[in-house]
Amino acid sequence: MAEQDYRHGPPLVLALDTSSRLTSIALSRGASVIGSIEIESDDRRSEKLWVNIESLLAGSGVGINDVGLFGVCVGPGGFTGLRVGMSAIKGLASATGKPVIGVTSLEAAAAQAEPGSVVCALVNAYKGEVYSQLFEIGRGGSPVALDAPLVSTLTQALERLSDRRSVIFTGNAALESAELIKQAGAQMSRPGASGKEEEGGWVVKSGNQSLASSIARLSYLKFTRGESESVEGLRAYYIRPAEAEVKLSMGLLGSKIKRSLKSG
């Protein structure tokens, strides 16, 4: 990998998220985001991706060779979308010889909260389920995991927090279920010493569902801690197996598909 010279400032970071139905791309100088775009995905997502990236770069007056670091969402999320995004970033990092950082969708969602917050990131897993994980946001803005990621129903995800009186919820699944979360949080309220309810409660953070800006910032912070990865070492973070893998385990796939999955 080529040596980079950042004596004149932090690197330009290009970050990409294709883990959901919304494609988002962001460009930052170090941890400061300087541009971003969001596009509703369709069947031609992979074909349009480079055009979208090129549009963001051109609008910021830079080219792909000016990028010093690549960041990408590694999941959990939609399996096909993750493969599209990771393949694109792997290709760009390999072609330019620049380092790459993987950020989970749960980390990126949690990072939208303020430092010092206790945050539950909720990301849509579809089929009536959510991905969830609890974090504390450090002083520098990096999420620190307080438990392991889980795929479950929303009810089960909230039950894990039954001993938490003050939690901020972020992520697309939190926005979609804001009223249910607030109602569940109200049932958790306890009167304080004064007889009034304790401050805090369960709060759903409103805002942009785009994760690329958070991924750009977190990629830079991870890079400064020496956490960059090789293109070959970058792996998707699924939490649960893909549907094809489930069918494979049940013996429901043909022999050719079985061989393909095992060799992959």
pLDDT, tens digit, 9 for 90 and up, residues 247-261: 444 454 454 444 443
Token pair 């079985």 is found at 258
At 9 the pLDDT is: 82
| Domains and their CATH numbers in the chain | 12-105+210-238 (3.30.420.40), 113-204 (3.30.420.40)
At 245 the pLDDT is: 42
Q: Specify the amino acid at residue 262.
A: K
Distance CA 225, CA 244 (A): 37
pLDDT beneath 50, residues of the chain: 1-3, 191-198, 242-250, 252-253, 255-264
The DSSP secondary structure of 95-140, one letter per residue, reads: HHT--EEEE-HHHHHHTTSPTT-EEEEEEEEETTEEEEEEEEE-TT
Nearest to 156 by CA among 186, 180, 135, 189: 180
At 44 the pLDDT is: 83
For residue 76, whether the previous peptide bond is cis, meaning omega lies within 30 degrees of 0, is yes
At 147 the pLDDT is: 96
At 166 the pLDDT is: 92
Helix (H, G, I), strand (E, B) or coil at 6: coil
At 196 the pLDDT is: 42
Backbone angles phi, psi at 213, to 5 degrees: -65, -45
At 139 the pLDDT is: 87
At 189 the pLDDT is: 58
At 206 the pLDDT is: 82
Which pTM was predicted? 0.85
* 93 token code pair: 């990092």
At 193 the pLDDT is: 40
At 262 the pLDDT is: 47
At 8 the pLDDT is: 66
Distance CA 159, CA 142 (A): 25
